[in-house]
A and B are shown apart, each in its own frame.
Chain A
Amino acid sequence: MATDRRVAKEGAPSVRRGVTRRTKMNWVFSYCMIAPLCIGLAVFYLWPFVQNLWFSFNDVTKFNISTFCGLDNYRKLFGDKEVWKALSNTLKYVVVTVPLGMCFSILLAALLNMKIRGKSFYRVLYFLPSITMSAAVAMVWKWIFNEQMGILNSALKAMGMSGHNWLTDNRTALFCIMIVGMWMTIGYNMIILLAGMQGISKTYYEAASMDGAGVWARFFHVTLPLLTPTIFFVMITSIISGFQVFDAVYMMIGKTNPAFDDTQTIVMLFYEQAFDYGHKGYAAAISVLLFAIILVLTIVQFSLQKKWVNYDE
């Protein structure tokens, strides 16, 4: 026993007993430390994941009585016009807000990466929207876009133009949601991109200057290529969160809004099916579809990254 302990203290595994006492104690300690998290994740995340998958093969009624229905939910899903419409709305949202938001974020980050005054002032103000509650923000924008009394239409009229029913016209409503979404996320992404720019070694810029590269050349041939890992990260996270857009749509577009169908996103549809209509099985299938789309897109992006993301450093 005594010798055994000494061996354990020196850290050499005793071959005969498989593991030393010290190692065993390390295991006990580790399991105690991870237990609360693992139990919580198992009960509230891993098991729900499995259950959700099971629900998607069931017809779950309002009173949570479920009967197995095989692929019925999925069959219904692919024939459901509402699902396709919601998918196309969400896709439009992502296709517009991710690249456009990225351009704005990069532009702002590049400007703040210059040695200008008031940098911290700008950083703080641009970040402000991303700490404000999206429900509150959506309410304010709804008031700004208001057809009769909104400040936007009043300003347009003051300039001699005519107002517009921004939020009830199905051609502009989704566009308004996009503006709110970008308004909320540009500052956040800007901070990440700025950190990426500041991580680029000065020697690259010095070398480029020596070769006679101007401001633009340096931006396009030094900054952007070396920023691609950060751009890739921001792109992945923006696409994932773009597919989950909900708060602004829920707050800004009521059920009676004529533009409802043209702004309904996939998560909005999921919420309605699950918690308004109580079609939990069908809603579970919608969430699985969303997961599958995000998963495929993320895998595709990771496999494409070799083509454009620069991991030289």
Chain B
Amino acid sequence: MSNKTEAATVKKRVPASHIVAHIILIAGILIVAFPFFWMVVTSFKTDGEAMQIPPTILPKQWTVDAYRQIVSGLPFAKIYLNTILSTVVTTIGQVVICSMAAYAFARYEFPGKRFLFMLLLSVLMVPGQIFLIPQYTIIMKMHLLDTIPALFIPNLFSAFGTFLMRQFFMTLPKELEEAAIIDGAGRTRIFLQIMLPLSKPGLISLVIFTVRFAWNDFMWPLIVNTSTDKMTLGPALSTLQGQYRVQYPMQMAGAVLAVIPLVIVFFIFQNQFLEGVAHSGIKG
């Protein structure tokens, strides 16, 4: 065991090292936070003030003109709605489809299980771009290009989500199901009324991963939907940047609007977000 003198020196040394840690951490925070800060303050400036040299830090006169222009320049309400819709449908779809399949993979034996699970894992390892051209062609053949369903259809099926949920189901004790079987509960009832409620933490991390992915997805919606009223926020920002090249407050207002909903969701569910990510590393 450490003796008294050593404990004393440790006690004395700790604050100094903590101060150094805080200095480094705060310096990092400034770098992390600055783009957010700059985005918000620029969005409240007039075009003229944003381009002023040398620049002002805070707006001399706060204005919401940029936000007004953006709503009149692009069908922003529609774009917002599309993004929300696509995110919600993707999430609900993944929760239902992935948890169903994951439960069967975690708890049942059936012919072809190993083979199917290997296929699932192999989808997980392939870079997404490899599916893009045929996926685009399929959506085109379904006459769904430039429609809302195009935004979410391929994303309803997630190998990652299934894997995540399977890992979670595997950690649950089997005794509960066995007790339910003795009580005469059917397979479907066991899944819906016993397993799903127990797997809430797993479902929450699946929801969080999916929301984060679906809200921020860029290349797929950029490819399939080209009319502004069918777009999601990411590609809409690209359009905004192309159309209003030098209206920086307007661009920043667009960025603020695109980022805010998820930031709010994150602040509400921060522990679940951080835990979900932390666990993803331990599993690997």
Residues of chain A having any CB pair with chain B under 8 Å = 25-27, 29-31, 33-34, 36-38, 40-41, 43-49, 51-52, 55, 64, 104, 107-108, 111-112, 114, 116-118, 122-129, 131-137, 139-144, 146, 148-149, 151, 154, 157-158, 183, 187-188, 191-196, 199, 209-210, 215, 230, 233-234, 236-237, 240, 243-244, 246-247, 250-251, 267, 270-271, 274-275, 280, 283-284, 287-288, 290-291, 294-295, 298
Contacts and interface: CB of A to CB of B under 8 A. Distances in A.
A270 to B, nearest CB: 6
B258 to A, nearest CB: 5
Contacts of B282: 195-196, 199, 230
Nearest to A114: B21
Interface stretch (B58-66, B70-78, B269-277): B269-277
8 contacts: A34-B116, A37-B101, A40-B156, A51-B133, A51-B134, A135-B234, A196-B281, A199-B282
Given A51-B134, A287-B130, A37 B32 contact: no
B279 A195 contact: yes
A114 B17 contact: yes
A142 to B, nearest CB: 8
Given A33-B101, A33-B108, A117-B18, 4 more contacts: A41-B157, A49-B131, A144-B35, A237-B284
Describe A's contact surface by its main secondary structure: helix
Interface string B250-262: 0110110011001
Given A33-B104, A140-B35, A38 B116 contact: yes
Nearest to B181: A9
Interface of B: 1-2, 17-18, 21-22, 24-25, 28-29, 31-33, 35-36, 38-39, 42, 50-55, 96-98, 100-101, 103-105, 108-111, 113, 116, 119-120, 123, 125-138, 140, 153-154, 156-157, 159, 162, 187-188, 191, 212, 215-216, 218-219, 223, 233-235, 237-238, 241, 248, 251-252, 254-255, 258-259, 262-263, 266-267, 270, 273-274, 277-282, 284
